[in-house]
């Protein structure tokens, strides 16, 4: 109990201090990893010869995977998913049985940066794919601009009560560059066991020139690639 009180008191004091310091110095805390959860109601009507929900489910299931996924084009997307919430689950007696009046497209994404920049980037880099998905959702026909899309997504946003980051909060290009370097350096180490000092130094200098550790954008891994695709 004393531990909990200690965490509460020190935690609140620390948070107030951080907020006050940021206010006085005009600084903003650095952006890291964040999570977005949106529930978009699906149109309860037909789309040609099938329902919107069926058409949407089929469309999502047919989307290309990995680096060909439309989400690979959206900057700073770590991991994201789509699923369809058809209804809520009845838990059995004595729980009450209840049902949703709409079906929802659930979009859940883990990304780097602030929400407005992320959503703007999503619209600007994957607009056509987004239209193909969200055209099945209520009121999406009114979305025409980046600002409309950001506002629409925020209307559908639900609050995350706990976001757990078990990875790093680095920008995606840095994460991909680090993975590329880890892979390349691991190979270098395996290939240069028992290499004489002079040859080793020369080989290492060539390795650094080739892999450019200080350049986060090139050469690096391609976002979403499930094989070793390297972007130069």
Partner 1 sequence: MSNIAGKAYAMNVVTPAKWYWVWVNKLFFWFVQLPGGAAYLKGLLTLSLIHYARWAIVSPKEFPHLDESQPKEKLKYSYMFFFSNFNGSWDQYVDSFHAAIPQGLDLFWFKNVKYPKSVPLQPFHAYITYNQIWTSHYYSAYPLATSNDIKSARHLTRELRAFSESSARADPLEFHEAYQRLLRDVQQDISIMERTPIVSLSAQAVEQRLDQADAERADQ
Q: Looking at residues 92 to 151 of the shown chain, list those that interact with partner 1 (rule: CB under 8 A).
A: 92, 95-96, 98, 100-102, 104, 106, 108, 110, 138-139
Cβ distance to partner 1 smaller for residue 47 or 170: 170
Q: Does residue 198 touch partner 1 according to CB under 8 A?
A: yes
Q: Report how far residue 80's alpha carbon sits from residue 135's, in angstroms, rounded to the nearest whole number.
A: 19
- Closest contact distance (angstroms) between CB of 18 and partner 1 is 8
Question: Which DSSP symbol is given to 42?
Answer: B
Per CB under 8 A, the list member of 47, 85, 120, 125 interacting with partner 1 is: 85
Q: Report how far residue 11's alpha carbon sits from residue 150's, in angstroms, rounded to the nearest whole number.
A: 33
**Residue span binding partner 1 (CB under 8 A) among the ranges 23-31, 46-54, 120-128, 216-224:** 216-224
Cβ distance to partner 1 smaller for residue 128 or 198: 198
Q: Report how far residue 174's alpha carbon sits from residue 43's, in angstroms, rounded to the nearest whole number.
A: 39
Residue position matching structure tokens 């680096």: 67
Q: Report how far residue 59's alpha carbon sits from residue 62's, in angstroms, rounded to the nearest whole number.
A: 5
Q: Which of residues 149-188 bind partner 1 (CB under 8 A)?
A: 155-168, 170, 172, 174-179, 181-183, 185-187
Q: Give the DSSP H/E element, type plus range, for residue 181.
A: helix 172-191
Q: Which of residues 24-63 bind partner 1 (CB under 8 A)?
A: 33, 35, 37-41, 44, 57, 60-63
- Closest contact distance (angstroms) between CB of 63 and partner 1 is 5
- Residue burial 91-129, b: 16+ Cβ < 10 Å; e: rest: eeeeeeeeeeeebbbebebbbbbebeebbbbbbebbeeb
**Residue span binding partner 1 (CB under 8 A) among the ranges 23-31, 46-54, 116-124, 194-202:** 194-202
Per CB under 8 A, the list member of 91, 145, 194, 232 interacting with partner 1 is: 91
Phi, psi angles (nearest 5°) of residue 202: -65, -45
Give the number of residues in contact with partner 1, rule: CB under 8 A: 98
Q: Does residue 228 touch partner 1 according to CB under 8 A?
A: yes
CA dihedral 108, 110, 114, 117 (to 10 degrees): -70
Phi, psi angles (nearest 5°) of residue 229: -85, 130
Q: Does residue 19 touch partner 1 according to CB under 8 A?
A: no
């Amino acid at each position: 109990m004393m531990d909990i009180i200690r965490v509460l008191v020190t935690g609140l004091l620390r948070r107030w201090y951080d907020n006050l310091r940021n206010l006085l110095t005009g600084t903003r805390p650095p952006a890291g990893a964040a999570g977005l959860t949106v529930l978009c109601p699906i149109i309860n009507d037909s789309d040609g010869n099938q329902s919107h929900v069926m058409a949407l489910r089929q469309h999502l299931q047919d989307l290309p995977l990995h680096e060909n996924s439309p989400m690979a084009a959206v900057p700073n997307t770590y991991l994201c998913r789509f699923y369809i919430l058809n209804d809520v689950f009845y838990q059995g007696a004595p729980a009450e049985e209840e049902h949703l009046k709409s079906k929802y497209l659930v979009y859940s994404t883990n990304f780097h940066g602030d929400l407005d920049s992320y959503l703007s980037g999503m619209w600007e880099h994957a607009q056509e794919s987004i239209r193909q998905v969200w055209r099945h959702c209520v009121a999406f026909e009114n979305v025409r601009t980046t600002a409309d899309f950001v506002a629409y997504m925020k209307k559908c946003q639900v609050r995350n009560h706990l976001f757990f980051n078990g990875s790093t909060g680095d920008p995606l290009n840095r994460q991909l560059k680090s993975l590329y370097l880890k892979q390349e350096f691991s190979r270098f180490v395996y290939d240069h066991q028992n290499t004489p000092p002079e040859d080793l130094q020369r080989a290492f200098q060539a390795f650094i020139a080739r892999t450019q550790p200080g350049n986060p954008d090139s050469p690096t891994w391609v976002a979403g690639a499930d094989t070793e695709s390297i972007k130069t």
